[in-house]
Amino acid sequence: MEVFKGSFTQQEPIPDDAIDAAVAVMRHGRLHRYNTAGDEIAETALLEQEFAALVGAKYCLAVASGGYAMATALRAVGVKPGDKVLSNAFTLAPVPGAIAAVGAEPVFVDVTDGLVIDLDDLAGKLDQAKVLLLSHMRGHICDMDALMAMCDAAGVTVIEDCAHTMGAAWNGVASGRQGAIGCYSCQTYKHVNAGEGGLLVTDDAEMAARAIMLSGSYMLYEKHLAGPPPETFDRIKYETPNISGRMDNLRAALLRPQLRKLEAQVARWNERYFTLEAGMRHTPGLTVIERAAGESIVGSSIQFLLQGWAADKVRDALRRCLARGVELKWFGAAEPLGFTSRYDSWRYAPSDPLPKSDAVLAGLIDMRVPLTFSIDDCTLIARIIREEVSAVYQQA
Ligand SMILES: *Cc1c(COP(=O)(O)O)cnc(C)c1O
């Protein structure tokens, strides 16, 4: 019996040019983003300029984490304690956590069996909040044209959580550029790796100015190359608290060379994703998630459904895969485990039952696709999943 020996949590090493850039920052010692010598431009300011250009945004701000970027975005669009914020029932804990961080309360919206936000459920809830924190969870992008038309008509501001869609696009427009603000993560398991870190982009000068002040710019905002003009800060600088969460030059130095390689990395991820998808397709009892024509994906993880399976059968299939080295995560488990939790595990945020989402999550299996996997590894992993899932499915 074939067994897979690789690690599902091992990313690639930091590229040499990024290591060299980081060492240069450590040698001069000016790690704080506003600590520059003479007319030196900080690595952080350069990163913001380069990321803004990459996604076609007017303004960009680098911060301490993706979660911090989302909380900052919520504050920058004016969410106040006690407000409601629409968000996905299917996402990861930092998303409702960002809403809780500003004292607001999530209103959860259903997930479809295509793993995107349910636009019908959203339509029925648009009158409950002024802001939607939309999570492109596991890289699945909904019909953004339809979503934006609905939200614009209802006067709902959209903030995008692009933790899994940095490098992805909807109808040729970079993910994060449809809503008012796009938020990205630079954490080790995402698409660029600085250990921790976040980026926020917008075309709105006031939102950008507030976000910069919020992140802890003091009165040094003119050092931002991808910030709005100084006059935008005239009033904002007195009204906006400093909720310290800057990025430092060391992380920015690590990230800049990785951004230049992002497109090539996306191609490598997708080669692996589509190898896995092809290998799992037509497995009895297993449903592949079809991707929308408008989506340009980054296949850094893959999901499939065991629709209508009893929980003990799902557990059995997962156990058998794990025995052969294939580590799968299940969003149907009653108890939160590792990185995986459900809307009803976030008990600080009251939620009504969502039977449609429950039915999807009950059969939802998730797998990381690190770039340390070869294409042969992906073929083998898909073969193991196919054998074990069909074996369990065919048991009476
Ligand atoms: C990782 C992640 C975030 C937040 O990123 P951090 O940088 O870890 O704070 C937000 N949303 C989703 C869906 C994530 O997976």
Model confidence pLDDT, tens digit, residues 202-221 = 999 999 999 999 999 999 99
> What is the structure's pLDDT at 203?
98
What is the arithmetic mean of pLDDT over 121-129?
98
Boundaries of CATH 3.90.1150.10 in the chain?
262-395
Distance CA 122, CA 120 (A): 5
Higher pLDDT, 173 or 337: 173
What is the arithmetic mean of pLDDT over 261-280?
98
Residues in a beta bridge with 246: 63
185: CA distance to ligand 1 center in Å?
A: 6
Class of domain 16-260: alpha beta
Q: Which residue has the tokens 């230049």?
A: 260
> What is the structure's pLDDT at 57?
98
> What is the structure's pLDDT at 314?
97
Asked if the 262-395 domain carries CATH number 3.90.1150.10, the reply is yes
Distance CA 224, CA 337 (A): 40
70: CA distance to ligand 1 center in Å?
A: 9
| Residue range 151-179, pLDDT digits in tens | 999 999 999 999 999 999 999 999 999 99
Beta strands in 142-192 (DSSP E): 157-161, 169-170, 173-174, 181-185
| Residue range 47-88, pLDDT digits in tens | 999 999 999 999 999 999 999 999 999 999 999 999 999 999
> What is the structure's pLDDT at 334?
86
Boundaries of CATH 3.40.640.10 in the chain?
16-260
What is the arithmetic mean of pLDDT over 1-20?
96
> What is the structure's pLDDT at 396?
63
- Asked if 286 and 305 count as a contact pair (C-beta separation under 8 A), the reply is yes
What is the arithmetic mean of pLDDT over 7-15?
96
Q: In sequence order, which residues have a C-beta less than 8 Å from that of residue 79 and are 6 or more positions away?
A: 85, 99, 102, 104, 130, 131
| Residue range 223-256, pLDDT digits in tens | 999 999 999 999 999 999 999 999 999 999 999 9
Ligand 1 atom closest to Cα of residue 135: 13
Ligand 1 pocket (Cβ < 6 Å) reads 65-67, 91-92, 94-95, 135, 137, 161, 163-164, 185, 187, 198
238: CA distance to ligand 1 center in Å?
A: 31
- Answering whether pTM is above 0.85, one says yes
Q: In sequence order, which residues have a C-beta less than 8 Å from that of residue 287 and are 6 or more positions away?
A: 113, 304, 305, 306, 307, 363
- Asked if 101 and 128 count as a contact pair (C-beta separation under 8 A), the reply is no
Protein residue closest via CA to atom 14 of ligand 1: 163
